[in-house]
Amino acid sequence: MVGREFGATGVQVPVIGQGTWQLGRDGLEALRTGIELGMTHLDTAEMYTGSEEIIAEAIRGIRNRIFLVSKVLPSNASYKGTLRACDASLKRLRTESLDVYLLHWWSGSHPIEETMRAMEELVAAGKVRYIGVSNFEVDRLKQAQKALTREKITCNQVIYHLRSRAVENHVLPFCESQNIAVVGYSPFDQGDFPSPGSKQGKALQTIADRHGKTPHQVALNFLTRRNSLFAICKASKAEHVRENAGGTGWKLNDEDLKLIDDTFPPAGKDEPLEML
């Protein structure tokens, strides 16, 4: 598994990681398979009921090999609520610290200054290494940056798949200018992947055939084609995980990129980020 520097952290993180939203206990084997293949960037959240406990089992005895990310719910993101939510996540994950702690999406009820103050407190206490956000447009990213006094925003986790490319317009260039990692979620549109017989499916197959890869691997390669980009995919089947691990370590050429742009047009300039 290819790794690259995660924002300004200096830490090498696998380009393709594993998401765990709606991953049931039957997904434990798949998660372990992914870890063995180097997909050690694991994404969870207090919102993903049961997922932190499954990860705890998968990483028992190998915590130091894992890049572990969890998220606080915006409704819990007051100063005290953030501290409490982090402690609860650490307990469920049976670990002493998170590699990155994210605000899951912008909170309408708690000022960003409060959340970020708590985040910095968590870093000072050694419970969190790095601070991040999720589903943030540029104006909100700037507010989060301004709210921090000592630490930096290291990543923004956002929706990014072939049919949802709004991140490319403003968020990606801004993050690149600030050395913020962009972690794309739902890379397969939650399983609603172009079917083999469709025009989009055929285009992906054409590209896949040129490289001896599969359409899912083509999608992952495209979504991680820049140095700032990471992808997290969810798979509860071990054969899917094995396939996904092959999404990196090779390069799409200009002809492939043109066919992708023609088949999955970039978003309109003012299209906002979608959010799941």
Smallest distance from the beta carbon of 129 to ligand NAP, in angstroms? 19
Judged by CB under 6 A, which of 39, 234, 256, 273 binds ligand NAP? 234
Q: Does 46 bind ligand NAP (CB under 6 A)?
A: no
Tell me the window of 125-133, 180-188, 198-206, 264-272 that interacts with ligand NAP (CB under 6 A): 180-188
Residue 257 to residue 248: CA distance in whole angstroms: 15
Judged by CB under 6 A, which of 216, 218, 222, 230 binds ligand NAP? 216
At which residue do the structure tokens 């991680």 appear? 224
Q: Does 258 bind ligand NAP (CB under 6 A)?
A: no
Q: Does 40 bind ligand NAP (CB under 6 A)?
A: no
Q: Does 67 bind ligand NAP (CB under 6 A)?
A: no
Q: Does 236 bind ligand NAP (CB under 6 A)?
A: yes
Tell me, by CB under 6 A, how many residues bind ligand NAP: 26
Judged by CB under 6 A, which of 191, 197, 212, 268 binds ligand NAP? 191
Smallest distance from the beta carbon of 124 to ligand NAP, in angstroms? 25
Q: Does 62 bind ligand NAP (CB under 6 A)?
A: no
Which residue's Cβ has the minimum distance to ligand NAP? Answer: 19
Q: Does 31 bind ligand NAP (CB under 6 A)?
A: no
Q: Does 19 bind ligand NAP (CB under 6 A)?
A: yes
Residue 128 to residue 161: CA distance in whole angstroms: 29
Tell me the window of 116-124, 183-191, 252-260, 266-274 that interacts with ligand NAP (CB under 6 A): 183-191
Structure tokens that stand for 124 in this block: 């000072």
Q: Does 237 bind ligand NAP (CB under 6 A)?
A: yes
Binding to ligand NAP in span 136-175, by CB under 6 A: 157
Residue 134 to residue 11: CA distance in whole angstroms: 19
Binding site for ligand NAP (CB under 6 A): 19-21, 43, 104, 134-135, 157, 185-191, 216, 232-237, 240, 243-244, 276
